[in-house]
């Protein structure tokens, strides 16, 4: 499950990316109900090819999440280098949510009632999660957030914000302001 790692043939890799791009684009346009056939068509591949890369819809959702986690891992590492522990925490939180706001496919996948196939993306998740854990820990140790604040709480807030994104609900920034007020120690 944890990625075979044998480098894909050039065209296969291209197709894989094309499918992911197509899925993201379609998720952004329509909300949530996107068809596998449409994704394949938009990606310029046959449905069979889509299924060769992603065994089912959950697996495709997981891949979308994995790709986003890989992207924000860099952001998290940069945040770790910020001296002020509070500023570092705010940077990952904001950066992560800003990315989520721009990536409807990611949001729908994360909040989907059908759980995404997390097993497919343990690696991608681990990197980001480790950075976040260190950042939250540091902020708590410095007494800048409640002493019991953990990476799990980061996820809670993050899910909460995403539930207020997209379509009608653009209140997530306000939500974040309220939530941070409850976490910060001043």
Partner DNA sequence: ACCTGAACACCGTTCAAGT
Residue 15 engages DNA in binding (rule: CB under 7 A): yes
Burial 2-16 (b: 16+ CB within 10 A, else e): eeeeeeeeeeeeebb
- What is the spatial distance between Cα 147 and Cα 85, in angstroms, rounded to a whole number? 13
* 113 binds, options DNA, a second copy, none, Cβ within 5 to 8 A by partner type: a second copy
Smallest distance from a second copy to CB 150, Å: 10
Torsion angle (degrees, nearest 10) of CA 76, 129, 177, 109: 110
* Least distance in angstroms from the C-beta of 44 to DNA: 7
Return the CA Rg of the chain.
Answer: 18
Contact between 161 and a second copy by CB under 8 A: the answer reads yes
The minimum distance between CB 49 and a second copy, in angstroms, equals 25
36 contributes a contact to DNA by CB under 7 A: yes
Q: Which residue has the tokens 């059908």?
A: 114
For the bound state, the minimum distance from the C-beta of residue 66 to DNA, rounded and expressed in Å, comes to 17
In the complex, which residues of this chain contact DNA (CB under 7 A)? 8-9, 11-12, 15, 33-38, 44-49, 51-53, 55-57
């Amino acid at each position: 499950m944890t990625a075979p790692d044998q480098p894909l043939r050039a065209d296969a890799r291209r197709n894989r990316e094309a499918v992911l791009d197509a899925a993201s684009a379609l998720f952004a346009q329509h909300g949530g109900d996107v068809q596998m056939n449409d994704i394949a068509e938009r990606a310029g591949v046959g449905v069979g090819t889509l299924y060769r890369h992603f065994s089912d819809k959950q697996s495709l959702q997981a891949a979308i999440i994995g790709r986003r986690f890989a992207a924000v891992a860099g952001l998290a590492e940069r945040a770790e280098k910020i001296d002020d522990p509070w500023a570092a925490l705010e940077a990952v939180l904001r950066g992560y949510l800003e990315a989520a706001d721009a990536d409807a496919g990611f949001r729908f996948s994360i909040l989907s009632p059908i759980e995404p196939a997390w097993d497919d993306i343990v690696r991608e998740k681990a990197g980001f999660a480790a950075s976040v854990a260190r950042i939250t820990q540091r902020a708590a140790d410095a007494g800048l957030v409640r002493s019991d604040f953990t990476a799990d709480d980061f996820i809670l807030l993050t899910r909460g914000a995403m539930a207020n994104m997209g379509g009608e609900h653009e209140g997530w920034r306000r939500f974040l302001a309220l939530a941070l007020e409850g976490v910060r120690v001043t």
